[in-house]
Amino acid sequence: MRERSSSHLIDSYGRYMKKLRLSLLDACNFRCVYCMPEKAQFTPSKDYLKTEDLLRIVKNFVSFGVEEVRLTGGEPTLRKDWLVVAQKLSELPLRKLGLTTNGFNLHKSIEDLSRTQCQYINISIDSLRKEKFNSITRRPFYDDVMKSIFMAKEFGFNLKLNVVVMKSVNDDEVIDFVRFSQKYDIEVRFLETMNIGVARPHFEKWFIPAQSLINNIEAHFDWTKRDREADDTAFCYDLSGGGRIGFIASESQSFCQGCSRLRLDAKGVLRPCLFKEQGLSFKDISLEDYPKALSETMRLKPIEREKELAQPMYQVGG
Ligand code: SAM
Ligand code: SF4
């Protein structure tokens, strides 16, 4: 890996922004109850960054020190050229290229994707029971998602499943997910419901701290805690007998102090933080203006976790 080429991605607290969440679009074909209203408003596709602009901006960020890129959205695989984006970004000197997806489309392109450098796939699945899955996502695509999970495993991707845990909705499946992880040797990551967007009115009712899941799992399984990098959002345990469980405790154990993430939304606005609606557009700026714009973005980056965000996750790029 090359040396960092500049200090424009280091903020005043010494945090180095090496990871970029790249939202390809805000549209989605699911309506997960904690993320999107049934009647969601999406950006008109003419306002999304054009492919060449998107690729140029990411390439420039990489020249300034970004080392990891994750494609997200909305649902990134709904963008017609998402695979081309993955192929083109594979030419950059990245340490990691990943994709976070609802899994609906993935199985159709998995072979092509396996030939790219995009090898870190997170698939969201909040229930292993078809009816409940359909009621959480408000769409009947359980079989497609399962197919994508097993194909991604078969093709040897570095695969993780994201499970948003909600009290009295799917918390009764935590042990089933742990068994699933053991049985198929697939990492499962439990996400605390975040106080964001459409989840806010339900937050008190749904929220369960990661520690209470840990207590429950520890009563049934042996596991060993893994070492954690300073900027890891998850803390993980290896299950004896195979499988791995991670926790993203964004609410109860926020990880802002070690944050290394920037987010580029689908229109080309670079946000310093998930919780900051302010950001700077990189759509039309020239390379000479990057240092100033990046430094300005760094200046906006908070050190403490904001309590909530009105804007829904799908608009920011989760
Ligand atoms: N559509 C893709 C997917 O669902 O994986 C990518 C975008 S989605 C916004 C990214 C991740 O954010 C998903 O794992 C989703 O479960 C999570 N997410 C969305 N809203 C959330 C909330 N209020 N609390 C916790 N996680 C949330
Ligand atoms: Fe779509 Fe992902 Fe939001 Fe679900 S979490 S509605 S799949 S963007």
| pLDDT of res. 304 | 85
Query: Which ligand is the nearest neighbour of the Cα of 133?
Result: 2
Residue ID of nearest Cα to ligand 1 atom 22: 194
Position 150 in a domain: yes
According to DSSP, the residues that pair with 237 across neighbouring strands are: 225, 245
| pLDDT of res. 153 | 98
Which amino acid belongs to residue 1?
A: M
Separation of CA 130 and ligand 2 centre (Å): 17
Q: Which positions ≥6 away from 307 have C-beta within 8 Å?
A: 195
Q: Where are the beta strands (DSSP E) in the chain?
A: 19-23, 68-72, 96-101, 118-124, 158-165, 187-192, 223-225, 235-239, 244-248, 261-264, 269-271, 280-281
Among all chains, which residue has been given the structure tokens 């040797």? Answer: 185
Atom in ligand 2 nearest the alpha carbon of residue 31? 6
Nearest to 77 by CA among 116, 47, 110, 117: 110
Backbone angles phi, psi at 104, to 5 degrees: -60, -45
Query: Which ligand is the nearest neighbour of the Cα of 70?
Result: 1
Residue ID of nearest Cα to ligand 2 atom 8: 74
Domain span at 150: 7-163+258-316
Chain centroid to CA 14: how far?
A: 23
| pLDDT of res. 1 | 45
Nearest to 306 by CA among 198, 165, 162, 194: 194
| pLDDT of res. 306 | 81
Position 142 in a domain: yes
Mutate to test the pocket of ligand 1, among 78, 163, 164 (most ligand atoms within 8 A of CB): 164
| pLDDT of res. 245 | 98
Domain total of the chain: 1
Q: Are 285 and 314 in contact (CB under 8 A)?
A: no
Residue ID of nearest Cα to ligand 1 atom 17: 318
Position 188 in a domain: no
| pLDDT of res. 277 | 86
Q: Which positions ≥6 away from 262 have C-beta within 8 Å?
A: 9, 17, 19, 20, 21, 61, 66, 270, 271, 272, 297
Q: Which residues line ligand 1 (CB under 6 A)?
A: 28, 34-35, 72-73, 75, 100-102, 124, 162, 164, 191, 193-194, 196, 199, 313-314, 318
| pLDDT of res. 6 | 63
Position 176 in a domain: no
Q: Where are the beta strands (DSSP E) in 96-225?
A: 96-101, 118-124, 158-165, 187-192, 223-225
| pLDDT of res. 312 | 77
Atom in ligand 2 nearest the alpha carbon of residue 29? 1
Q: What is the CATH number of the domain that holds 144?
A: 3.20.20.70
Q: Is residue 164 packed enough to be buried (19+ CB in 10 Å), middle (13-18) or exposed (0-12)?
A: buried
| pLDDT of res. 12 | 86
Q: Which residues line ligand 2 (CB under 6 A)?
A: 28, 30-32, 35-36, 73-75, 102, 124, 314
Q: Kindly calculate the radius of gyration of the chain based on its CA atoms and give it in whole angstroms.
A: 19
| pLDDT of res. 307 | 82
Residue ID of nearest Cα to ligand 2 atom 4: 32
Which pLDDT tens digits describe the chain residue by residue (318 residues)? 445 556 789 988 999 999 999 999 999 999 999 999 999 999 999 999 999 999 999 999 999 999 999 999 999 999 999 999 999 999 999 999 999 999 999 999 999 999 999 999 999 999 999 999 999 999 999 999 999 999 999 999 999 999 999 999 999 999 999 999 999 999 999 999 999 999 999 999 999 999 999 999 999 999 999 998 888 999 999 999 899 999 999 999 988 889 999 999 999 999 999 988 889 999 999 999 999 999 999 999 988 888 888 887 788 777
| pLDDT of res. 107 | 98
Position 247 in a domain: no
Mutate to test the pocket of ligand 2, among 102, 134, 194, 313 (most ligand atoms within 8 A of CB): 102
| pLDDT of res. 227 | 94
| pLDDT of res. 254 | 86
Q: How far is CA 19 from CA 66, 236, 258, in A?
A: 6, 19, 12
* Separation CA 152–CA 273 (nearest Å): 30
Position 39 in a domain: yes
As given in the structure block, the two tokens for residue 102 are 């609802």
Residue ID of nearest Cα to ligand 2 atom 3: 35
Q: Are 141 and 101 in contact (CB under 8 A)?
A: no
As given in the structure block, the two tokens for residue 50 are 């054009």
